[in-house]
């Protein structure tokens, strides 16, 4: 289970950032008093427009960012006090994951497998399963430099899952992928859910969320505006689809001036 309680993250801005944002204040509240829960056996989606605070939230859950305020626990472990216990149990995918482009997918997967302390037999078995599913075998011996965006994304996913994590945290997993690759990713997420894993994703694409997620949290300007099953969110907003629900919440946010 992931429990986020009253998460607030304030970034300190440097001079260049202050100029870019045309602000005199040196602070940016990226996430403001955000609370939600995600459970095993479900795909939870954090939805929101660009800059809403999705990546900040997922990075905080993944121990990569220290919350300014609030508590987060993953499988009962505190992300600050028990960060290594959390890291062992999560697979985190971000578009900023840097793969060493001189190496091959084959080398990379063994490298990360060993980093997690896995023996060769376990890495072999998991690699076979992941490489088969994502069609990586055909480019397993090419340099990462030479791979397309989709291939790199598929490899990043395989790498993030090599230690068979209980909790899978994917930031915009299908962003920039063609429909075939995107389908391979969503099918794997369903498979992980069926295995009883907790999957949490972020997306700004409402159709992705409607199809994939059991429950969603809608974030606007760093604040959680709705949480629940898609039906619950539609009921709350009096709408028929998630896109309309989003705009209803967005309209209210603008009205409130939040
Ligand atoms: N290191 C940082 N320093 C200052 N401000 C930041 C930093 N990282 C993010 N922000 C700001 O915090 C806010 C939330 O950013 P975040 O990346 O979490 O949003 P997001 O919902 O993931 O957006 P996107 O869909 O565009 O990736 C944005 O206004 C962003 O500009």
pLDDT digits (tens, 9 = 90+) for 151-160: 898 999 999 9
CB-ligand 1 contact for 60 (6 Å cutoff): no
CB-ligand 1 contact for 204 (6 Å cutoff): yes
Average pLDDT of the chain to the nearest whole number: 92
Q: 21 versus 240: which is more confidently predicted?
A: 240
pLDDT digits (tens, 9 = 90+) for 39-61: 999 999 999 998 999 999 999 99
Residue-level pLDDT at 96 = 63
Q: What is the pTM (predicted TM-score) of this model?
A: 0.93
Quote the ligand 1 centre to 49 CA distance (angstroms): 11
Residue-level pLDDT at 112 = 93
Quote the ligand 1 centre to 95 CA distance (angstroms): 13
CB-ligand 1 contact for 203 (6 Å cutoff): no
Fold of 2-257: Rossmann fold (3.40.50)
Quick check: 209 and 242 in contact, CB under 8 A?
A: yes
Q: Which atom of ligand 1 is nearest to the CA of 55?
A: 22
CB-ligand 1 contact for 165 (6 Å cutoff): no
Quote the ligand 1 centre to 28 CA distance (angstroms): 9
- Does the pLDDT at position 120 exceed 60? yes
Domain boundaries, the chain: 2-257
Residue-level pLDDT at 162 = 95
pLDDT digits (tens, 9 = 90+) for 162-208: 999 999 999 999 887 888 889 989 999 999 999 999 999 999 988 88
Quote the ligand 1 centre to 239 CA distance (angstroms): 29
């Amino acid at each position: 289970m992931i429990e986020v309680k009253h998460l607030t993250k304030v970034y300190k801005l440097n001079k260049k950032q202050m100029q870019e944002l045309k602000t005199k204040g040196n602070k940016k509240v990226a996430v403001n008093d955000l609370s939600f829960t995600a459970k095993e056996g479900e795909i939870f989606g954090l939805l929101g427009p660009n800059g809403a605070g999705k990546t900040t939230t997922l990075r905080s859950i993944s121990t990569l960012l220290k919350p300014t305020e609030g508590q987060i626990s993953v499988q009962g472990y505190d992300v600050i006090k028990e960060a290594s216990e959390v890291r062992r149990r999560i697979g985190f995918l971000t578009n900023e994951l840097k793969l060493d482009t001189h190496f091959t997918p084959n080398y990379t997967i063994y490298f990360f497998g060993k980093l997690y302390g896995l023996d060769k037999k376990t890495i072999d078995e998991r690699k076979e399963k992941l490489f088969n599913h994502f069609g990586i075998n055909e480019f397993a011996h090419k340099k990462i430099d030479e791979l397309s965006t989709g291939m790199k994304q598929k490899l990043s996913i395989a790498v993030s899952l090599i230690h068979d994590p209980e909790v899978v945290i994917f930031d915009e997993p299908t962003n920039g992928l063609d429909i075939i690759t995107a389908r391979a990713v969503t099918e794997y997420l369903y498979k992980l859910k069926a295995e009883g894993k907790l999957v949490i994703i972020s997306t700004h694409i409402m159709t992705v969320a409607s199809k994939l997620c059991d429950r969603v949290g809608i974030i606007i300007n760093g604040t959680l505006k709705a949480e629940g099953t898609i039906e619950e969110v539609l009921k709350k907003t009096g709408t028929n689809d998630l896109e309309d629900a989003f705009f209803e919440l967005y309209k209210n946010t603008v009205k409130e001036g939040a």
